[in-house]
Structure 1
């Protein structure tokens, strides 16, 4: 590790768990962490844990955490050299990455050009196919009103938003009679969530495993493949369980997945952290789904089995450091599992419900 901190001061353009995680990485690297907060978060834990916190607006996220101008102004007031977006909010917004760069600051993540190239799922599908990576059968252009392309693929199919993920703008269609209302609903939801109603279609692969490969690249052309995570257990398109290594991936399949992930990354000038997601069918064939050009919520699973601090390496890479041999040659040891916890009432259609937590022990320690 460099004897000097990668940066003197770093702004964390986020809140909650990921802000705390980045603050801890900053502490270990000798960086002064600067937080941001809305009016609703003035006394939040991440605010108290940082060296300084800048107000960025009222409680509504659209007027605070999603306001590029407010975050850039906070960065200037905080006297920072770099900005870490965390995940969610502005983390995959190319306009934000470009605004950070235009302000003379370092964006801790892939460049704006990479975010633009891979943020659009259709463009990413085309790039992957051109790189020789198998993609889920479906369209590589926007789906219009003509049902012909969908019917040619064959039901069941999945309608998906080109501009985003997280299950928004996604619809399963099992028969032709369901297609038109599903297309209209998917477009409306995609437009509301991402400002872009473009959708495309993929064949439904079932049964299938959902496996993602963790990548970490530097600005010197080196790329580390840090194993895979299995996120097949999902509900409402949200991941419930993440584990590494995947119990369904053989050594041969793992080699193929890693090679496909490298090929996808090679389609752009990639550096920093990202994951490449794949579906694996019952016959062991794998298909590219998308590349998430940001830190994933589940990055801690990979950190546990590799012993690496991915967040710290994001910051070090952004400062221009080269990946070391222990990162490039990292291998998985042991097994790690992460669960998503819900507060819902199973007797009322799983509606969110309030309650009191009577016992809770937080994990702690280096890299957590």
Structure 2
């Protein structure tokens, strides 16, 4: 299958592994942060870490929007269901994310809340049309990749005169999180970044150029297949060996420098920047999330239902916040694999299909062992 089989070819992987071993300087360590959880899962699913020398280390980053969503936003969603009797439309990853007081959307649904799992924003619009006497709220979440479909849904709701439809907006911005990681009071030691691929199809590789220039960190936009990750790692190592700090694009089959200009225009038409937004593990980050513009404010669930800002603490002992900013690994968490499992998650890193803890669980890395494995 084009763009699948050839990016999982065993002999090419071995050639790349040999090239990395030859070019990695034994007298230094290479600490590479993979920003996206899709890369984390590729690294462990295909045993990429085991093919690389010990001085090449992957650092897990924010992962995905579900991972970085603060607990208070889940509390808000539960309030919508329990106190305002709305039909809440969500993506399935959100169901089991822990909320305050041991609650979750799954438990709210089990208690009679009308929570419906959907596959697209169009499903939420159809539910609103089919239930004109009920308030329907779409839990809008995602980085720049999933923001354009939400913008389309808002415009369609406006054109169709859907008075019972609104969104609970939790769309966040990748560059802001990258800046927060680099500007942290106690920053994690990072030599370079594997830039997210799907996000970059929207915002383009140019969005990262300021980080390479200002922070002197090389960034390589990497695809999600195993050979993508390995080639991107080699490109980062070559930059570091020659003291370069540029944005390079390994994922040229999908990403351009300018990105999807039409999608960017659509996002800008419907959304504007929030002054600040809370990220799990990273705290309040200025200009890091989106809200609806004034001319679409009638579709803003936070305004319609006057949702309060809720500050909630993570489960005691859960290291998910530290994992999300790269300060710790899942194996550093004492809860991993004991009280925290996919059936009983203590944090969003175990819930999300792109979470780092879920990757360690799924691919047998609970003890952080290196094994010689590559799936074809």
Fold-level match, TM-score > 0.5? no
Q: Scaled by the length of structure 2, what TM-score is found?
A: 0.35
User: Which one has the bigger helix percentage?
Assistant: 2
Q: Which has the higher strand share?
A: 1
Q: Report the TM-score, using the length of structure 1 for normalisation.
A: 0.35
